[in-house]
Amino acid sequence: MTYLVFIFTIFFSIFLTNLARKFALYSGIVDLPDKRKIHSKPMPKTGGLAIFIAFAIAIFLLKAGNLSFHSISFSKVITILASSGFMVGLGLLDDVWNLNPWQKIGGQTIAASIAFWGGIQINATSLLPGIAFSPVFSYVLTVLWLVFICNAFNLMDGLDGLAGGVAAITLFTIILISFYVQKYDMMVLAAVLSASVIGFLFHNIHPAQIFLGDNGSLFLGFVIALLAVEGFFVGTTTVSVFVPFLLFGLPITDASIAIYRRLRNPDNSQESKYSLIRFINKIVQPDKQHIHHRFVALGMPHERAVWSMYTVALLFCILGFISILLTNVSLLFIIGMGIISLFIGLMKFGYIHSSLAGRKSKEQNTVVLNTAPLSFFQGIVDCVLAFMAFTFSFMLRYDFYSFPMEKQIYSKTLAFLLFLKISIFLLSGLYKKQWRVVRGIEIIPILQSNVIASVFIVLMSEFININEPLATSTFIIDFFISVFLMIIARVGLTYFDERRIQKTHTLKNVLIYAHGKSAIDLYFSHELLKNNGFNAVGLFITETSEIFNRSDVTSGIPVYNPSEKLSSVCEEKSISTILIDGTWFKKNKALEADINKYLPKLNIRIYHISFESLQSFTLPKSESSNPVSTVHM
């Protein structure tokens, strides 16, 4: 019966979504394009209405088929439908009349209160077994959780298929965890909701025919958060309290960054600095700086950006599932590894300014050196490679399938090793360098980081495995395999990405003309340049610098000093475009005249380039010789 309802719900959701699209177009419930949005025509935004109706009808079909709810009373199921239905209505009102922030938060609080009064409450945690929360504290915690998660999903709904796909991935993980801990009613609810989402996605994948709208994104975040409360917070000691936070890791991270970013932005409000109204008004201001926006802005196609976000969501969900299998100590190490990997990605995307990523502050004219779409995954990839290296080395040193004691040592050591390795990679400066260029001297940071990590692991292994320490040879093998995999991965990614760029772009040869350190900054963003159609073939540095004194070639790119004739370099390299650091140009008004006097006979186009906003840039349409225009990254 359940399987038939699941299949029926998918097809019924497809049908309802098509009806919802026609209804939105007829009634004018459409999302109009503007500078903050990626679509160029009005789009219907009633997707949440279709998902909710399909979900509700599936629930009643299951009840009509004599499916008895044991771990969840049917009254709680009705509570889920009632509160989430209220949220759909609230979102629909917002889609039609654009409610102000206070009206939306008030409505969301009412929906969360309905759920709480219906018995869906955060009243215990596995961190404090046997201790129940007071009613007031339970109410506040439940409302805050539900309101935050539904808004986090709402913020993430910025690309075709993104929020719906992330919801489906989260629901499938809830299904697996519910099956593992034998909460079958929870598994059924998650299954029929996922079926409703899958049917909607048939009309929502790029190019989308319909959007979720606030009615959909608020509903999905809210109802999945309800399932998490009922499944993982209600008097359980068998499921880790970290599970729901890991399952919602991507929307929580994106929402937290958005709040932090918006609070740091200056405003002209007359309210007190510590006013609650000012605080709310700042964090609800829309922008185009979310993680999925960064992927697109850095040159990644729409579909690849969505799949990249799916990958991040899947990794969070995998950690959530793994967390129910680990001891508390191992779980803390794994979570620590995940936080550091995420920290590396956020640094590379410019959300966090740190010298560990080659960028100290936003005010300095120093860019995130290897800002490119896939740089977000640097830490994650290195964690996967470290896992593979240790697993291979352990299997070479021991018979992995024969000795249970060795298996216990492996599982006990792995979490600590991954945490220690990624921490040392970060602190040793590995991520200051360009990720996918491995030529000669660029191998040294990889070797250095792995040497330090291996030495620390050998020293610390005595404390972690007191009774049965691993043989030192295991870590020696791990060192060589780790270095090999990291070099191969970087070379392979460079090769395949360059092949992709060559197929999708006709690259325009450019010369980077800059001043000292800024020349290095500009060049080391050459992946970003390539994603936008530029191929950096040389650095022209206006003064003798450390980099020129050390070498006349950087990562295979020639470095020129002022003694070289600019015109001859342009002719030799078939250069049609020169990129100038826009920040430096503002301080040197005579620069344009100095450059133009070297190029009297060449049709060279000059552009100022800025890294302040990390937005994608395009070439101006002007055809005049030697124009000076500004482009932004």
Q: Which residue is it, tokens 């992946």?
A: 527
| b/e code 598-625 from CB counts within 10 Å (16+ = b) | ebeeeebbbbbbbbeebbbbeeeeeeee
Q: Residue 369 — very low, low, confident or very high, per pLDDT cuts 50/70/90? A: very low
pLDDT at 332 over 70: yes
DSSP calls for 488-534: HHHHHHHHHHHHHHHHH--PEEEEEEE-THHHHHHHTTHHHHHHTTE
pLDDT classification of 92: cutoffs 50, 70, 90:
very high
Q: Residue 478 pLDDT more than 50?
A: yes
Summarize pLDDT for 429-449 with one digit per residue, the tens. 888 766 554 555 567 888 889
pLDDT value of residue 469: 66
Task: Please give the pLDDT value at position 287.
Answer: 74
Average pLDDT over residues 264-290: 68
Q: Which residue has the tokens 């270095």?
A: 483
DSSP letters spanning 557-626: EEEE-TTS-HHHHHHHTT--EEEEEHHHHHH-TTHHHHHHTT-SSS--EEEEEE-SS-----------SS
Asked if 511 and 540 touch (Cβ cutoff 8 Å), the reply is: yes
Confidence check: pLDDT of 352 > 90: no
26-35, 244-253, 311-320: segment of lowest average pLDDT: 26-35
Checking if the pLDDT of 550 tops 60, the result is no
At 316, the pLDDT band (50, 70, 90 cuts) reads very high
In eight-state DSSP terms, residue 437 is -
pLDDT beyond 50 at 239: yes
Q: Which of 416, 395, 415 is nearest to 406 (CA)?
A: 395
pLDDT of 381 above 60: yes
How far is it, in rounded angstroms, from Cα 171 to Cα 224?
7
91-109 average pLDDT score: 91
Q: Per-residue DSSP letters for 8-69?
A: HHHHHHHHHHHHHHHHHHHHT-EE---TT-S-SS-EE--HHHHHHHHHHHHHHHHHHTTPPP
pLDDT digits (tens, 9 = 90+) for 53-64: 999 999 988 877
How confident is the model over 531-541, as pLDDT tens digits?
667 777 777 76
Stretch 322-335: mean pLDDT, rounded? 83
| Distance, CA of 347 to CA of 293 (rounded, Å) | 16
Using one digit for the tens of pLDDT, what is the confidence trace for 128-141? Answer: 656 667 889 889 99
Q: Is residue 428's pLDDT more than 60?
A: yes
Note the pLDDT tens digit of each residue in 144-176: 999 999 999 999 888 899 999 999 999 999 999
Mean per-residue pLDDT for 241-247?
86
Does the pLDDT at position 633 exceed 60?
A: no
CATH 3.30.160 fits 507-632, yes or no: no
Q: Which of 259-263, 382-386, 614-618 has the lowest mean pLDDT?
A: 614-618
Which of 205-209, 491-495, 500-504 has maximum average pLDDT?
205-209
Residues in the chain: 633
Please give the Cα distance from 252 to 250 (Å, whole number): 5
- Specify the pLDDT at position 431: 83
Residue with tokens 């133009």: 596
In this structure, what are the phi and psi dihedrals at residue 390, rounded to the nearest 5 degrees? -70, -40
Mean pLDDT of 378-386: 92
C-alpha 253/C-alpha 422 separation (Å) is 20
Which pair of tokens denotes residue 482? 């780790």
The per-residue pLDDT for 146 is 95
Helices (H), 158-301: 162-180, 184-204, 213-228, 242-247, 249-264, 276-283, 291-297
| pLDDT higher than threshold 50 for residue 26 | yes
Handedness of CA 51, 56, 62, 65 (dihedral sign): negative
Parse the chain into domains and list their residue ranges. 2-238, 347-498, 507-632
Q: Which residues contact 500 (CB under 8 A, 6 or more apart)?
A: none
Task: Specify whether the CB–CB gap between 211 and 31 falls below 8 A.
Answer: yes
More confident residue, 582 or 22: 22
**How far is 290 from 261, CA to CA, in rounded Å?**
10
Per cent of the chain over pLDDT 70 is 69
Identify the pLDDT of residue 357.
62
Q: What percent of the chain has pLDDT over 90?
A: 31
Residue 272 has pLDDT above 70, yes or no: no
Taking CA atoms, 87 is separated from 109, 162, 222, 307, in Å, by 10, 20, 8, 28
Do residues 48 and 91 touch, judged by C-beta distance below 8 A?
A: yes
Give residue-wise pLDDT tens across range 509-531. Answer: 777 776 655 555 555 555 566 66
Q: Going by C-beta distance under 8 Å and a sequence separation of 6 or more, which residues neighbour residue 347?
A: 353, 354, 356, 357, 359, 368, 431
Could you say which DSSP state residue 229 is in? I
- Provide the mean pLDDT of the chain: 78
Q: What is the mean pLDDT of residues 605-632?
A: 44
